[in-house]
Chain A
């Protein structure tokens, strides 16, 4: 029974091996062997019914399409699906470059920015709202002041609280001068609000910071100062939505939320219209800051303060 093969390097069979052979020697049982072979025959016949074998016997889809026309149509459909899929995938996956973001930003007709500044970092933030349109007109609300500008120059400034024309505060002036210095705004001019040297550096995509698939993150490190900045842009529209700048030396933190809307009406940027309404509505102190602003939380901010309801009107509503 023991067969020595070409690879065998173990010892010759000994008494123990012979005992094992003897103990497990094949019983000469023809009937049993015939029975087992019968089982194999049954298995062989049943194999035709096996689900896997049936699947193998089924012709591939390609063979079901008889003739060149159905095959061509199927191939064309498959190709079209693949192309559309590839295009959609690339559109959804491609990361915009900074040049694309800048180009897209420069093409929008109107920009609103809410800027928070903390100097140093532990101080309460100072908030400033900026509206600019492509013609170079701007309006800034900073503290109690509303400042109007044209092409980077302050036209008029009003103190809404005191309800009179005033000289603009420094921060509002700086913003207006920076953004409007070139007649119109660009991503570079916006970055100058956040740091003098940031617009000189090349923003780099930061893949590690892109947790959300919808957002692309660009990091900017100034070459000549410690200033650094991060810009979040929407992947599909390529528009920047948030800019955060930090100067670790001074502790200045500037955070800005950028939103985009239809251009504001001309009267919104007209200081004379604003001055007139300021005179006419002595009761509307806080709301005057947003006078004539369209689509501000779904409505035009009324230029005039609605009259307080009378008792009769109140009872009518009831």
Chain B
């Protein structure tokens, strides 16, 4: 096996699925997701020597995925806020016909996504890694470059804050 294959097998192959999952879940738009993934690979390319020498290269790559996807999410949220303001009254009428219910469901999802994005970056990323990917706290700590205790704290505070926001908006 040549060096390129060795490097790929050691750094990326074991986390291919997780990289794809992170980007697809956070960036739901197909076009955006492909762009974000390309950005991720470009960043990995430019920092390859640093990543290779990093004590935890795979966590480093996953962090790049989370950061790029999260940035794209925030950019898209800002764009949407400019285009269609999200008003709570959009979801008040819950006992509506099926079509309206589906529309209401999409609004709730948008509200939840907006609530997640309103959290501090580290908290939002920790919550998403925990709830969506079911990552353990040590892994979250490695990805976010913090201790396991700090990762727990981010998840705990993030979840509590999310409950507050969604409760204030009448979603839960």
Report A's interface with B, CB cutoff 8 A.
1-3, 5-10, 13-17, 19-27, 29, 31-33, 35-37, 39-40, 43-44, 46-48, 50, 52-53, 56-57
Contact = CB atoms under 8 A, between A and B. Distances in A.
B134 A32 contact: no
A169 B162 CA distance: 100
A7 B137 contact: yes
Top 8 A-B pairs ranked by shortest CB distance?
A3-B134, A23-B112, A47-B4, A5-B136, A23-B109, A52-B49, A48-B4, A56-B3
Contact of B12 (A5, A29, A40): A40
A56 to B, nearest CB: 4
Given A7-B138, A48-B2, A56-B7, A43 B163 contact: no
Contacts of A14: 163, 172
Contacts, number: 128
B159 interface: yes
A46 B42 CA distance: 11
Interface of A is mostly: helix
A37 B25 CA distance: 15
A52 B48 contact: yes
Given A10-B159, A47-B8, A39 B112 contact: no
A57 B2 CA distance: 8
A28 B128 CA distance: 18
Contacts of B116: 20, 23-24
Interface of B: 2-5, 7-8, 12, 16, 19-21, 23-26, 28, 30, 33-34, 37-38, 41, 44-45, 48-49, 52, 108-110, 112-113, 116, 127-128, 131-132, 134, 136-138, 148, 152, 155-156, 159, 162-163, 166-167, 171-172
Contacts of B128: 20, 24
A36 B37 contact: yes
A141 to B, nearest CB: 71
Contact of A19 (B12, B26, B108): B108
Given A10-B155, A47-B8, A21 B34 contact: no
Interface of B is mostly: helix
Contacts of B162: 16, 20
Contact of B24 (A2, A23, A33): A33
Contacts of A57: 2-4
B20 A33 contact: yes
Given A10-B155, A39-B38, A52 B132 contact: no
Nearest to B11: A47
A26 B171 contact: no
Nearest to B139: A5
A128 to B, nearest CB: 68
Contacts of B30: 29, 31-32, 35
Contacts of B16: 37, 40
Given A6-B136, A16-B159, A24 B25 contact: yes
B24 A39 contact: no
A39 B37 contact: yes
Given A8-B137, A52-B48, 16 more contacts: A6-B136, A7-B137, A7-B138, A8-B136, A10-B152, A14-B163, A19-B166, A20-B116, A21-B131, A21-B132, A26-B21, A26-B24, A33-B20, A36-B24, A36-B34, A48-B4
